């Protein structure tokens, strides 16, 4: 069952991540693809199996599993634009499990303000702020897509 909007707004997915900074700062990229390599490693490290943005379970069925992606919360383009260390950007701490739909709804994210981020702790604060803003935009996009679907694709099922 997918999480409700209120449930999504009450938590951040990072609470199940390793507690030690050196564990958070490591990269999980191991090559291959998300489902076989780094996504599997991510699940093992964080114990998360649902989309961080909509709550859709991603390991309960094959059809859901093939939509699984790993998302950079703070996109590489933002890290480059703000001169943030790539080590931070590529760290486990900056990754979330997502479904392809949510990832596609907000995959062109751009930060609208300049920000000085020089420490890992400052990066984590930025990550949390961006995650909350992205999750809210993705939820709004889901609502508009559901409305469009109900009105134009399946009006008899609405």
> Domain for residue 122, yes or no?
yes
Is 134 domain-assigned? Answer: yes
Mean pLDDT of 122-136: 94
The H or E element spanning position 143 is helix 120-148
pTM: 0.86
Cα–Cα distances (Å) from 108 to 4, 73, 75, 138, 148, in that order, read: 24, 11, 9, 12, 22
Please give the average per-residue pLDDT across 15-35, as a whole number. 88
User: CA-to-CA distance for 56 and 153, rounded, in angstroms?
Assistant: 22
**What's the pLDDT at 85?**
93
Taking residues 52-69, what's their average pLDDT? 96
Does 81 reside within a domain? yes
Q: Average the pLDDT over 84-112 and give the result.
A: 89
Domain count, the chain: 1
Is residue 65 one of the residues assigned to a domain?
yes
Q: Which domain holds residue 128?
A: 5-153
Q: Check residue 10 and give its pLDDT.
A: 52
3: pLDDT strictly greater than 50: no
Q: Is residue 69 included in any domain, yes or no?
A: yes
Work out the number of other CB atoms within 10 angstroms of the CB of residue 155. 9
3-state SS of 41-98? HHHHHHCCCECCCCCCECCCCHHHHCCEEEEECCCHHHHHHCCCCHHHHCEHHHEEEE
Alpha carbons 134 and 132: distance in angstroms, whole number = 6
Give CA–CA dist 34/155, Å, rounded: 36
pLDDT digits (tens, 9 = 90+) for 73-87: 999 889 988 899 999
Residue 158 maps to a domain: no
Backbone angle region of 55, left / alpha / beta, with phi > 0 → left and psi within -120 to 50 → alpha: left
Asked whether residue 125 is assigned to any structural domain, the reply reads: yes
In a domain, 103, yes or no: yes
């Amino acid at each position: 069952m997918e999480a409700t909007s209120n449930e999504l707004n009450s938590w951040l997915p990072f609470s199940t991540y390793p507690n030690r900074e050196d564990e958070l700062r490591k990269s999980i990229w191991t090559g291959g693809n998300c489902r076989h390599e780094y996504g599997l490693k991510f699940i093992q490290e964080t114990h998360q199996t649902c989309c961080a943005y909509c709550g859709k379970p991603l390991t309960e069925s094959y059809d859901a599993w093939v939509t699984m992606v790993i998302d950079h919360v703070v996109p590489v383009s933002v890290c480059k634009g703000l001169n943030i260390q790539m080590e931070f950007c590529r760290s486990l701490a900056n990754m979330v499990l997502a479904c392809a739909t949510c990832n596609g709804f907000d995959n062109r994210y751009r930060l609208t303000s300049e920000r000085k981020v020089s420490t890992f702790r400052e990066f984590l604060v930025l990550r949390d702020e961006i995650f909350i803003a992205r999750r809210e935009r993705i939820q709004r996009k889901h609502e508009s897509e559901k409305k469009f679907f109900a009105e134009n694709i399946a009006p008899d099922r609405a």
